[in-house]
Structure 1
Amino acid sequence: MSFKIAIIGAGSVGFTKKLFTDILCVPEFKDIEFALTDLSEHNLGMIKAILDRIVEANGLPTRVTATTDRRKAIEGARYIISCVRVGGLEAYADDIRIPLKYGIDQCVGDTICAGGILYGQRNIPVILDFCKDIREVADTNAKFLNYANPMAMNTWAAIEYGKVDTVGLCHGVQHGAEQIAAVLGAKSPRELDYVCSGINHQTWFIDLRLNGRKIDKDELVAAFEAHPVYSQQEKLRIDVLKRFGVYSTESNGHLSEYLPWYRKRPDEITRWIDMSDWIHGETGGYLRYSTETRNWFETEYPQFLEAASKPIDASKRSNEHASHILEALETNRVYRGHFNVKNDGVITNLPRDAIIESPGFVDRFGINMAAGITLPEACAATCMASINVQRMSVHAAISGDIDLLKLAVLHDPLVGAVSTPEEVWQMVDEMVVAQAQWLPQYAHAVPAAKERLSKSTLKTREWAGAARRNVRSIEELRAEKAALKQAV
């Protein structure tokens, strides 16, 4: 087979390498072209050198090109994969820093909450530019695979306004299933069969079967509470499991941001999170992790390049959906996964226009969703709160309506639990002004926002958050990795 895959935001070096090697684990895909594109020539050069080394080491005919001309990369592509972070770590730092001034403590801040909503405002205009290029110069039947957060908002915009064939992809379901399999004592995650449904980062394991035996709430609670690691790292998730009756896919830290109950007071935050790793609830945890990862890669790049000389091991193919979807579409080998698509009645008690994440099957006819799923009422209610915020956020991003943007932020569950309307209005003004270079749709609103800020008497505070850690130096990271290696 010979076709072209364009990867937008290919400067996400580690993730691009994973997608690349996964796809080349499919025997029929050796003779394809990867067109890499990114705003950063520096990052493009690094990832192209790594992928070229993989191709050379494995004696493959695969072609790798790299260009900052996105339209050229998309031209003729059958598949377009996006893993962009518009505004990079600079804008992301504001997504965490500014809400903290108003008492809003986020662990990740890339899905909803104040940070995730502003992230969507930056991404959606760019997503629509991608879609325009796809419609005009990509293969006639091109499929857009979006890995970028905020997943639901980006996918919603691409489908509803971009008018391209789009699927959103995440790995939260797979990771949650691996946890459940581990606490239940399974020898392999493959022993666990499950139905997981909801919206991205708020998907729920509504049916669990281990080797054909149905697992109920009480058994799952007991298994998690008995686990020596997860009982400490996932305290909030376990509490939600007890109250809702089903387990959530999302990590302890992520889940805490989507609910109005666990992160609204500093003493409550420290009660429910775990500081053994960023993902369990640390203030700005993913920002710290991302910053350290970038610094580590820049410094240790020669090691990454050397590692690329190893043969591809198909047995280590990851559970990221992209390669499996492409394999199913191109070879007709059926793949079952969980995909972000427009609901259109798949989940009976969520709105038809919402972007859901739910089970589906892929073959040469496309992605076919398993319809007729009904969520438990509490799960549906929690999802609905986020869907309403997502819908307003998408409409605000398309229209450039700053008042609608403020209403979207006001209706976010955690923001609403912490901040007053007056605080929300000022916070959004401050974030739009700080991120104006990435928010062209709000250019008309920036002067008035600056004027309001200059006259404001509302007090804010400089607060690091309830559980903040400093970014570690390269030397500290080296010492930690050496200690872990010695312990093993």
Structure 2
Amino acid sequence: MSSFKIAIIGAGSIGFTKKLFTDILCVPEFRDIEVALTDISEHNLRMIKTILSRIVAANELPTKVTATTDRRKAIEGARYIINCVRVGGLEAYADDIRIPLKYGVDQCVGDTICAGGILYGQRNIPVILDFCKDIREVAEPGAKFLNYANPMAMNTWAAIEYGKVDTVGLCHGVQHGGEQIAEILGAEDGELDFICSGINHQTWFVDVRLNGRKIGRDELVSAFEAHPVFSQQEKLRIDVLKRFGVYSTESNGHLSEYLPWYRKRPDEITRWIDMSDWIHGETGGYLRYSTENRNWFETEYPQFLESASAPLDFKARSNEHASHILEALETGRVYRGHFNLKNNGVITNLPPDAIIESPGFVDRFGINMVAGITLPEACAATCIASINVQRMSVHAAIAGDIDLLKLAVLHDPLVGAICTPDEVWQMVDEMVVAQAEWLPQYAHAIDAAKDRLSRSTVQTRTWNGAARRPVRSIEELRADKADKQAAE
């Protein structure tokens, strides 16, 4: 097999980039490739290049690793481009959580829809289109763009429809949900089969089979409620399973943001979440987790570097889709996964222009989706509400239309359950002003938004949310890690 080049944009996401890289090296035919890393942070780029180069040297591989802050140079000649960026970093992300709290909107993650996810999309989409321009102009002809960055549906929608690049969106929610179901049913490797379909972060296990036997709602409910951990951590997901008849792929905290019923009152939030880990519903949980991880990487970098000198365990390949897709495309070994692509009739009761997440098979002919899936009506209704918000958000980001942006936020299910139109209008003005440096398409609207804010009579409040935890220090993280190791 001839060598080829992979570019990773946002490679400064050190832990995730290392995982993608080691997964790729687990494919024997891929050890002679070039991996080009690019990021706006020279500091992070140096760290990750040093780690990956150490892995290559320790395993005596011919793999070439390069790093540059010149994105176009990294993309030049690449056959595959993987996107892991977080536009605005943790600074902008903090505003995605902080400002909506002033208006009563309590988010756990805020990276998909809701107020935070919509603004995240506004920051991402202009940059996504810049990536696509570079791919069209300097990448290998027919290059494939693999997007891991959230908001998944909006980013993928913009890249396909406006960037005109062959794009697939990738997430790991399906795999994690499948692991949970396997655990509660006591399934061994290869015994559990399922079909998940819907939209990213609202994908549904519409068919679950254990050794070929179909597993129904009542059996799933009983198994989840009997599980000593999941029965507490996934209370909201279990309630949705009881009412909808199918289990959602997304975590308890994430799912709570997309539905207008569970996070609209503080007392209801605490009823449905679990504070054992951020992902189960904690206010701003992912922001805290991400902040702690950034600090942890900075302080513990020598240990990460030392671990990179160990021999690779080529059997320890993760279930992240990227390496498996590349393997199927390059070798013809068929891979089945769940992918984010334009619907075009694959799911019969979702709009054709929507970005769906649904099963497909990959081989040398590309990604081939399984067509003709019909979602249960409640699942479709929930997805369509989000799709309508996503569509408006993408169009607003492309046009720099602040009025359409406000309408998108107004139609968000959770925001609409909490805020009045006047509150939404002011909240969006405040978020756009706070994030102006990452929103070039709204430059013409910033002065008017500032003027409206100076004259506004809408009342806000100082509120940390229903279930906020402080960011832990490095010392506290070390102590927690030591406690967990001792318990094991």
TM-score by length of 2: 1.00
* Distance in 1, Cα, partners of 2:121 & 2:54: 35
Equivalent position of 1:369 in the other structure? 369
Which of 297-306 and 454-463 deviates more? 454-463
Identity of matched residues, %: 87
In the other structure, the counterpart of 1:380 is 380
1:329 equivalent in structure 2 = 329
Equivalent-residue separation in structure 2 for 1:183 and 1:266 (angstroms): 30
**Are positions 1:302 and 2:279 aligned together?**
no
The reply on whether 1:461 has 2:461 as its aligned counterpart is: yes
Match of 2:405 in 1: 405
Partner amino acid for 2:37?
Answer: L
**1:141 is paired with a residue of what secondary structure?**
coil
CA-CA distance at 1:314 after TM superposition: 1.7
Q: Report the equivalent of 1:289.
A: 289
Q: Distance in 2 between matches of 1:320 and 1:386?
A: 25
Alpha-carbon distance in structure 1 between the residues aligned to 2:118 and 2:246:
27
For 1:227 and 1:65, the matched residues in 2 are separated by: 47
Residues in 1 aligned to 2:263 and 2:331: alpha-carbon distance in whole angstroms: 46
Name the SS for the 2:36 alignment partner: strand
1:3 maps onto 2:4 in alignment: yes
1:457 Cα deviation from its structure 2 partner: 1.6
The corresponding residue for 1:38 is 39
**Corresponding residue of 2:390:** 390
Paired residue type of 2:38: T
- The residue number in structure 2 matching 1:237 is 237
1:357 partnered with 2:357: yes
Measure how far apart 1:296 and its partner are.
0.4
Aligned to 1:48: 49
Partner of 1:268: 268
- CA–CA distance in 2 between the matches of 1:325 and 1:73? 21
The aligned residue for residue 93 of structure 1 is: 94
For residues 391-418 of structure 1, what are the alpha-carbon distances to aligned partners after superposition, in whole Å with 9 as ceiling and x for unaligned? 0000000000000000000000000000
Measure, in 2, the Cα distance between the counterparts of 1:245 and 1:310: 46
Give the partner amino acid of 1:103: G
Partner of 1:316: helix, strand, or coil? coil
Q: Which residue of 1 aligns with 2:445?
A: 445
Deviation at 1:458, TM superposition (A): 1.3
What's the counterpart of residue 181 of structure 1? Answer: 182
Task: Give the corresponding residue for 1:482.
Answer: 482
1:200 — aligned with what?
A: 200
Amino acid at match of 1:236: L
Aligned to 1:114: 115
**CA–CA distance in structure 2, aligned partners of residues 318 and 389 of structure 1:** 33
Aligned to 1:419: 419
Q: How big is each residue's C-alpha offset from its partner over 1:345-404, in whole Å with a ceiling of 9 and x where there is no partner?
A: 000000000000000000000000000000000000000000000000000000000000
**Residue 135, structure 1, aligned to residue 168, structure 2:** no
Structure 1 residue 187, shift from structure 2 partner:
2.5
For 2:89 and 2:148, how far apart are their aligned partners in 1? 15
- Which residue in 1 is equivalent to 2:432? 432
Amino acid at match of 1:126: V
Deviation at 1:256, TM superposition (A): 0.1
Structure-2 residue corresponding to 1:256: 256
Read off the aligned partner of 2:402 and give its amino acid letter: I
Q: Secondary structure at the match of 1:314?
A: coil
Q: How many residues align?
A: 487
Q: Secondary structure at the match of 2:261?
A: coil
Aligned equivalent of 2:342: 342
For residues 411-458 of structure 1, what are the alpha-carbon distances to aligned partners after superposition, in whole Å with 9 as ceiling and x for unaligned? 000000000000000000000000000000000000000000011121
Q: Aligned partners of 2:11, 2:160: CA distance in 1, in Å?
A: 22
AA aligned to 2:481 is K
> How far off is 1:289 after superposition?
0.1
Determine the C-alpha separation between the residues in 1 that align with 2:142 and 2:458.
53
Secondary structure, in 3 states, of the residue corresponding to 2:241? helix
Report the AA paired with residue 433 of structure 1. V
In structure 2, how many angstroms separate the alpha carbons of the residues matched to 1:486 and 1:275? 21
The alignment partner of 1:283 has SS state of coil
By how many angstroms is 1:92 displaced? 0.1
Distance 1:314 1:338 in 2: 23
**Helix, strand or coil at the partner of 2:142:** coil
Cα deviation digits, residues 212-265 of structure 1 (max 9, x gap): 111011100000000000000000000000000000000000000000000000
Alignment correspondent of 1:160:
161
Per the alignment, residue 473 of structure 2 pairs with 473
Partner Cα distance (2:193, 2:34) in 1: 35
Unaligned runs of 5+ in 2: none
CA distance in 1, matches of 2:261, 2:10: 35
Amino acid at match of 1:367: I
* Distance in 2 of aligned mates of 1:468 and 1:191: 40
State the Cα distance separating 1:311 from its structure 2 match: 1.3
Q: Distance in 1 between matches of 2:444 and 2:315?
A: 53
SS at match of 2:196: strand
SS class of match (1:300): helix
- Once the two structures are superposed, residues 264-313 of structure 1 have per-residue CA deviations (whole angstroms, 9 ceiling, x without a partner) of 00000000000000000000000000000000000000000000011111
Provide the rounded CA distance (Å) in 2 between the counterparts of 1:182 and 1:192. 10
- 1:141, distance to aligned residue in structure 2 (A): 1.4
Structure 1 stretches lacking a partner, 5+ long? none
Distance in 2 separating the partners of 1:392 and 1:123: 15
Cα shift readout 1:294-349 (whole Å, capped 9, x = no counterpart): 00000000000000011111211000000000000000000000000000000000
Look up the match of 1:225: 225
Q: Which residue of 2 aligns with 1:320?
A: 320
Query: Counterpart of 2:315 in 1: which secondary structure?
Result: helix
SS in 2 for 1:65: strand
Q: TM-score normalised to the size of structure 1?
A: 1.00
- The ranges of structure 1 where at least 4 consecutive aligned residues each deviate by more than 4 angstroms after the TM superposition are none
In 2: Cα distance, 1:487 partner to 1:79 partner: 42
